[in-house]
Structure formats: C-alpha cells, structure tokens
Structure 1
Amino acid sequence: MSKERRIIEIAPGTMSPGGRMTDRIESRGHRCPYCQGNGYLWQEDEWQERYKKECPICKGSGRLDAVITIEWKAGSNS
C-alpha cells in the first residue's frame, strides 16, 4: 500500500490582538483503510445469505478527509 507524504511548514502569519488564532488545513480523498475504499463490508444474516453493510468509518463513501487544526497561543517563559 502506498502512502502520501507531505511536508507542512508551520509559521504564524500576520496576527492582531483579538484576531483569529487558528489555522486549518484539509487533505481530501484518502482511501478508507477499514473497507479498502469499497464503502461497504460483506456480512451474513441468520440464513447465511451475504449482504453489503455500509462501512461505519467512511459512511459508505470509501474515502476519508483529514482536517488538521493549528491553534496559536502564547509561549511560556521557562
């Protein structure tokens, strides 16, 4: 299985008192590892008949989105 590898450079931009202190980065369209991107899992009922059950992780889409939130706060004087 291949993996995506990115480098995120973190540096505070222009800020002002009372302004926004968070940044948000999104990465979309990653294949769901739980259902292998199918969006469903095979299950069997009480009569051993197979049926597709929606993946509880990706909710049937087969894809996951990553959301990274960076919160800026004052540093400590230690």
Structure 2
Amino acid sequence: MEEVRKDISSDHFLQGLTIGLLLGAGIFWLVSNSENKDKVLKKITGFFEGFPASSPDQSHQVSLSPKRRFIKQGKEL
C-alpha cells in the first residue's frame, strides 16, 4: 500500500512538472517570437500582479501606493 501511494504522489509531481515546463516553454516561445515583446511581457506580468504575496504574514494584503497606505492608516497627505 505504501508503494502505491508513493507512485501516485510521484505521478502528480511529474504531471505538475510537465505542465509547468510546457507553460514556461509556451510563454518563452510567445515572447521570443512576438514583435511587441514589451506589450506581451506587460500582459504576462500584469496577470500575476493581482496575486497575494508569498509570505504568510502579508498573504492577505495587496500592495498599496504610498498615498493609499496613509489614507488606510487614517492619516491624510
């Protein structure tokens, strides 16, 4: 039973690794063959900007501009 569980977990790892490599290769191909590389990179990075930070203490916060940070703390500029 232990060996079956190890096989399943390694299969999931390999599937995740394969999907990640394919996505990375696809994005690399898209950027390298695009005439407007800057626009493509901005769209890709813009997609990931909305995700929360990876650190656990800041995972619920979204980065704010300095002005919004002061307003959030109850201070006005």
Scaled by the length of structure 2, what TM-score is found?
0.24
- Kindly indicate which of the two structures has a greater share of residues assigned to strand: 1
Structure number with higher relative contact order (C-alpha < 8 Å, ≥ 6 residues apart) = 1
Scaled by the length of structure 1, what TM-score is found?
0.24
